[in-house]
Amino acid sequence: MKLTSLIKWLIRAKYLTFYIIFFGSQVSLASTVLFDDTPQNGTSLWSTSSSKSSLTQADDPVADGSIAIAMKAHNWTQSGLRIAKIPPYKDTILEAKIFRVSGSKGTLMFRRGKNSLKINLDESNSEFWTLNGQPGHSDYIDNKWHKIQIHLKHFDLNEGENVLALGIQGPQGTGTFYMDSVSFIESEPDISTSPPISGDWVVSFEEEFDSNVLDPSYWHVGKQYLGMSGIAGNAGGENIDVEAGMLTLKAERSNLEQGSKSYKYKGAEVSTFRKFKQQYGYFEARIKHESTHGAWPAFWLLPDKGIYGNNSYRRQALLKFDLNDVHEAAYSAILRFKISEATNKSSIAIHKTLTTDWSEDTVTWNTKPKIDPAWFVQRYGETTGNIIEVDVTDYIRDQQIAGKEASFALVDNYMRKQLVEVFSTETNNLNDRPILIVNENNIVATDDAYVRGGEYSDENYGEYSSLLVKDVWGDTSSTFGKGMEFDIMEYLGTWGEGVSWSALHWDGYGSKHISKDSGELYLNSSDNGFHVYGMHWEPNYVAMYIDGDKVWEFESERVGSLPSYIILSLQVGGWDGNSSNIDDDFFTNMLVDYVKVWKKPEYD
């Protein structure tokens, strides 16, 4: 067996001690034992009120070794293992084995922090803990040992914050559980330090989703255009969440109207269009998705020729409102503005800006605030005289708490090439001016302006009676010629668990369309459901990787050679029967832990 293969096998098999002995200088995986036959490393048995935590007796169940912890709790009391330790690793998992006696009730939980905050482990946070390697749940088999893993970083522990205890909370009545083999373990490195191919690699893109919003320097909702493949519409910010170092895309059965199109399903899609593109290199993402009938998650690339049209015609509008005169917490907040001129082919999206320190007297394209990529709403086909109203209550409430103004951007993101004009505060008719209605009180904008790109990037447009919005068209993402669609990972819910698929598409999607695919690729087991999907792309060559192993390759002079941008999608439908017989309560998600790209200087 080759050394690299042996290393990968040892990691998957979790023979960490053996691995550290032989390869300790290369690997940082580690563990801290908290209970193994006895409490260790300063831990102790723990219980509250009339509950009880004790060491097992002769006939009690034990998972490993000879002794476990017997836990009894009732009437909301708690018992388990007192830990009182700061998680020792940058990315720590709290692991234990749990046994529930038949007929017992009770909730798995842990406590944290100075205030001993209790976190119940249940379906509401199942993506952040696992039971036997699957998303956490309470419907597990009694009288049998199960392994739980709590990924602590996703519960937003502050730096230096203790994990105080792990155990059960009792119900009305009595719950009897057993616990064994409790440890802090270092998570397998979430982010690869280098591709699985030797070479002079340099990191060119890295995103760990550490903020609570999509980073506008990296991400754009949708692709060059908003539409998605399949039977769902892109619901934008409504189905996109960034929290606790994770991007979550959601898909669900829910009606969505976008211009003349009606959808019965909502999905989500983000990309690096106009933000990042690269020709050749290694592209990688760590992803987890559910095997729900109807789900169509994907990690893929499309070409980008850099043809975006004349930037001098591109315009965006800004609005700002002072909230100081709102003396109670917002229970209702509506942004209202009126279209002064537009055709039925128009496109306009309403976003929040990430900063509010701009002025209508000085703002320009070059100094405009960053805009949250996830819009409140996207509207197509709004025409002259239409009034647009947007519910922004949650955002206004957040701004009140932060003591900040409310700031919005009106944008066309999707190259519709249509000028939209909106009445500003300078228009003569007071009823046409934009307002923010908070708790039924009208607030007039303190600042509004539009900005213009290209040769007008340093010009200020803060004194006009209309705010202008426009994007321009560029045929930049064709798969003809040197272009190619690279599907690094895609999956259909009808395939069942443990399967992936890779494919290449070129020469459009009509009669000249050509494709090559890997067929079904079977995944190795994963304790937490995540897998690392990668693509190695060189001139005339492409290879797909899963968890560091090459699973498919394609060599041809037709391999795409245009710089390409990254897309993360959660679509609905596809083929193989995945568009039909979908449950009425359909809901699924896709979690992305990180995206990382490397390049070789020789291809700069």
Q: Identify whether residues 583 and 491 lie together within a single domain.
A: yes
If one compares 495 and 525, the residue with the highest pLDDT of the two is 495
Residue with tokens 């170092």: 245
Residue for token pair 């084995």:
97
CA separation, residue 308 to residues 87, 165, 417 (Å): 48, 56, 11
Specify the pLDDT at position 225. 87
* Residue where a domain stops, chosen among 471, 503, 532: 471
The Cα 569–Cα 239 span in angstroms is 11
Mean pLDDT over 223-237 rounds to 93
**Do 124 and 106 have their domain in common?**
yes
Model confidence at 338: pLDDT above 50: yes
| Same domain, residue pair 432 and 370 | yes
172 vs 311: CA distance, rounded Å: 66
pLDDT at 517 over 80: yes
pLDDT at 13 over 60: no
For residue 11, pLDDT beyond 60: no
Residue 28 within any structural domain of the chain: no
Look up residue 275 and give its amino acid.
K
Residues 101 and 162 in one domain: yes
Please give the pLDDT value at position 18: 33
Residue 303 scores a pLDDT above 90: yes
CA separation, residue 411 to residues 363, 375, 416 (Å): 16, 9, 11
**Band of residue 189 on the pLDDT scale cut at 50, 70, 90:** low
Gap between the Cα atoms of 18 and 31, Å rounded = 13
If pLDDT is split at 50, 70 and 90, which confidence band does 31 have? confident
Residue 24 banded pLDDT, cuts 50, 70, 90: very low
325 is a domain residue: no
C-alpha–C-alpha distance, residues 147 and 131, integer Å? 6
The two tokens of residue 574 are 């596809």
Highest mean predicted confidence (pLDDT) among 48-52, 129-133, 214-218, 473-477: 214-218
63-91: pLDDT as tens digits? 999 999 999 998 889 999 999 999 988 78
**CA distances from residue 496 to 500, 503, 522, 533 in whole angstroms, order as listed:** 10, 19, 11, 18
Last residue of a domain, which of 186, 217, 233? Answer: 186
- Enter the tokens of residue 443: 């607030």
Residues 485 and 436 in one domain: no
pLDDT score, position 115: 81
Would you say residue 14 lies in a domain?
A: no
Q: Does residue 352 or residue 13 have the better pLDDT?
A: 352
For 131, the domain range is 92-186
* pTM attached to this predicted model: 0.74
Overall domain count for the chain: 3
Q: Are residues 358 and 302 in the same domain?
A: no
* pLDDT tens digit sequence for 562-583: 999 999 999 999 999 999 999 9
The sign of the CA dihedral 5, 11, 13, 16 is positive
Give the pLDDT score at 188.
65
Q: Tell me if residue 20 falls in helix, strand or coil.
A: helix
Pick the residue with more confidence: 42 or 154? 42
Asked whether the beta carbons of 259 and 414 are under 8 A apart, the reply is no
Tell me how far apart the alpha carbons of residues 596 and 287 are, in angstroms, rounded to a whole number.
12
Q: Is residue 552 part of a domain?
A: yes
Claim to verify: residue 481 and residue 599 sit in the same structural domain: yes
Same domain for 339 and 455, yes or no, is yes
Rounded (10°) CA dihedral 323, 241, 154, 498: 180
Nearest alpha-carbon partner for 467 in 319, 309, 349, 343: 319
Q: What's the half-sphere exposure (Cβ side, CA atoms, 13 Å) at 545?
A: 18
Under the banding of pLDDT at 50, 70 and 90, the label for residue 3 is very low
| Mean pLDDT along residues 524-540 | 91
**What is the structure's pLDDT at 274?**
95
| Domain endpoint, select from 415, 438, 471 | 471
Q: What is the mean pLDDT of residues 139-168?
A: 91
> With 60 as the cut, is the pLDDT of residue 25 above it?
no
Pair 599, 481 in one domain:
yes
The b/e string for 523-539 (b: 16+ C-beta within 10 A; e otherwise) is beebbbbbbbbbbbbbe
Cα–Cα distance measured from residue 355 to residue 179, given in angstroms and rounded to the nearest whole number: 49
For residue 514, name the pLDDT band (cuts at 50, 70, 90).
very high
Beta bridge partners, 117, equal: 112
Confidence of residue 1 (pLDDT cuts 50, 70, 90): very low
Higher pLDDT, 154 or 264: 264
Residue 3 forms part of a structural domain: no
Tell me, yes or no, whether 24 lies in a domain: no
- Model confidence at 19: pLDDT above 70: no
- Whether 104 and 173 have beta carbons less than 8 Å apart is answered as no
359 plus 459 within the same structural domain = yes
C-alpha to C-alpha distance for 560 and 550, rounded to whole angstroms: 19
Q: Of 323, 319, 320, 321, which is closest to residue 400 (Cα–Cα)?
A: 323
Q: Give the whole-number percent of the chain exceeding pLDDT 90.
A: 79
Closest to 467 in 3D by CA, of 590, 572, 338: 338
- Residue 465 in any domain: the answer is yes
What is the DSSP secondary structure assignment for residue 353, as one 8-state letter? B
Task: State the average pLDDT for the chain.
Answer: 91
pLDDT at residue 100 in the model? 95
Could you tell me if 248 and 137 lie in one domain?
no
* Residue in the block written with tokens 């819009």: 375
pLDDT of residue 190: 56
Q: Which tops the pLDDT comparison, 211 or 351?
A: 351
pLDDT of residue 191: 67
* pLDDT reported for residue 27: 38
Q: Are residues 242 and 160 in the same domain?
A: no
